[in-house]
């Protein structure tokens, strides 16, 4: 994630990618499907394309947010791009490429309507008391950057309202233990699970890192504040070369096309600013309007033809 963060691992990653390309060419597949990870998959796809292997790439990179000229390169190295968001195919089609919207799997797996009290009971929470989810990120560097400030903010929120239940989640026992360790340092009473979806369904509002988790919160109809900080070097490069095209960062705002949820980024990400944003979110009388917008956006991410259907269609065309 970022530029400075990956440099020290680059030699090992390049060596692995070279071996992957060699192994795939030796296997002589008819079709290669690269799933996300563009910095890994695009160079692989470029090499395989030269070996007359058909290329499908699943999940478009964020060309609508930064480095839009990548579209032309992607069109050259792929035969089909399958996108998660409905507005993305146009970027490829306008440049002579082939792309289709296949829906977002999270939108399909999460119900349109969420029963918050029932979800709280499932986690052993009091259904009559408010719950705040803090989700500092799943990557190690995100955890190190965000957890301390998120925990401090949650503690301040709980002091304001002693009935507030604090919940969190992460992907493996080590990361769960890391969150618990920081929480214990500040004597924050918190429940940390391994199921972010269950946590977001139960939460009345959330403080979270930007990324897929923000989309998941939207799908779980959970009002949120997005807090995020990348390394100063990466941020400086992004700002200097004007690599970001949009004024917002989180996926709910990208889908909405405006600031639907608050974003607190970089130097602005202090306990005080996060606390103020959450307090405002908690007190607002616009929750119904926010949930209605979340529901509309949720429905826009659904489609009858999913990725598997599109792959089958593409395969049949190749066999003709």
Q: Please determine whether the domains at 4-103+303-319 and 116-300 fall in the same fold group of CATH.
A: yes
Q: Over range 113-138, report the average pLDDT.
A: 97
Please identify which residue in the block is written with the tokens 């195919």.
89
SS3 (DSSP) at 233: helix
User: Residue 57: pLDDT above 90?
Assistant: yes
* Nearest CA among 72, 76, 73 for reference residue 49: 76
Instruction: Report the percentage of the chain scoring pLDDT > 70.
Output: 97
Domain residue extents for the chain: 4-103+303-319, 116-300
**pLDDT-derived band of residue 318, with 50, 70 and 90 as boundaries?**
confident
* Nearest CA among 162, 210, 146 for reference residue 218: 210
pLDDT of residue 202: 98
Dist. CA 151–CA 301, nearest whole Å: 32
Q: What is the pLDDT of residues 179-235, one digit of tens each?
A: 999 999 999 999 999 999 999 999 999 999 988 999 999 999 999 999 998 777 777
pLDDT of residue 39: 86
Asked if 20 contacts 32 with a C-beta cutoff of 8 angstroms, the reply is no
User: Residue 1: pLDDT above 60?
Assistant: no
User: Into which CATH architecture does domain 4-103+303-319 fall?
Assistant: 3-Layer(aba) Sandwich (3.40)
CB proximity list for 100: less than 8 A, separation 6 or greater? 80, 81, 82, 83, 89, 305, 310
Q: What is the pLDDT of residues 227-258, one digit of tens each?
A: 998 777 777 777 666 667 778 889 999 999 99
pLDDT of residue 285: 81
Dist. CA 99–CA 63, nearest whole Å: 13
pLDDT of residue 217: 98
E-state strands within the chain: 31-35, 54-58, 80-83, 99-101, 131-135, 165-169, 190-193, 205-208, 224-228, 262-265
Q: Over range 298-319, report the average pLDDT.
A: 94
For residue 93, how many other CB atoms are within 10 A of its CB? 15
pLDDT of residue 242: 66
130 vs 249, residue with greater confidence: 130
**DSSP 8-state assignment for residue 128:** T
User: Residue 164: pLDDT above 70?
Assistant: yes
Averaged pLDDT score across all residues of the chain = 93
CA count, 13 A, side-chain hemisphere, 293:
18
Pick among 1.10.340.30, 3.40.390.10, 3.40.50.2000, 2.40.50.140: CATH of 116-300: 3.40.50.2000
pLDDT of residue 205: 97
Q: Over range 93-97, report the average pLDDT.
A: 95
22 vs 210, residue with greater confidence: 22
Pairing status of strand 99-101 against strand 131-135:
unpaired
Q: What is the pTM of this model?
A: 0.88
pLDDT of residue 237: 72
Asked if 64 contacts 87 with a C-beta cutoff of 8 angstroms, the reply is yes
275 vs 7, residue with greater confidence: 275
């Amino acid at each position: 994630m970022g530029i400075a963060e990956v440099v020290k691992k680059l030699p090992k990653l390049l060596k692995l990618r070279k071996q992957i390309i060699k192994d795939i060419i030796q296997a002589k597949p008819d079709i290669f499907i690269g799933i996300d990870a563009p910095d890994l998959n695009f160079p692989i796809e470029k090499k395989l394309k030269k070996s007359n292997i058909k290329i499908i790439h699943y999940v478009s990179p964020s060309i609508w947010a930064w480095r839009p000229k990548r579209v032309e390169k992607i069109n050259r190295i792929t035969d089909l791009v399958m996108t998660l968001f409905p507005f993305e195919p146009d970027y490829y089609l306008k440049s002579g490429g082939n792309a289709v919207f296949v829906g977002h799997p999270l939108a399909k797996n999460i119900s349109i309507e969420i029963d918050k009290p029932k979800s709280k009971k499932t986690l052993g929470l009091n259904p009559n008391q408010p719950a705040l989810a803090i989700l500092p990120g799943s990557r190690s560097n995100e955890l190190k950057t965000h957890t301390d400030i998120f925990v401090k903010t949650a503690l301040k929120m709980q002091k304001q309202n002693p009935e507030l239940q604090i919940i969190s989640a992460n992907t493996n026992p080590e990361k769960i233990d890391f969150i618990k360790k920081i929480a214990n340092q500040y004597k924050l009473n918190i429940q940390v699970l391994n199921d972010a979806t269950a946590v977001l369904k139960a939460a009345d509002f959330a403080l979270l890192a930007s990324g897929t988790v923000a989309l998941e919160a939207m799908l779980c109809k959970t009002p949120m504040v997005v807090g995020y900080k990348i390394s100063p070097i990466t941020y400086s490069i992004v700002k200097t070369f004007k690599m970001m095209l949009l004024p917002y960062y989180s996926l709910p705002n990208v889908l909405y096309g405006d600031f639907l949820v608050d974003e607190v980024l970089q130097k602005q990400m202090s306990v005080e600013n996060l606390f103020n944003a959450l307090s405002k979110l908690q007190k607002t009388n616009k929750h119904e309007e926010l949930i209605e917008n979340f529901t509309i956006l949720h429905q826009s991410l659904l489609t009858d033809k999913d990725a598997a259907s599109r792959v089958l269609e593409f395969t049949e065309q190749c066999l003709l």
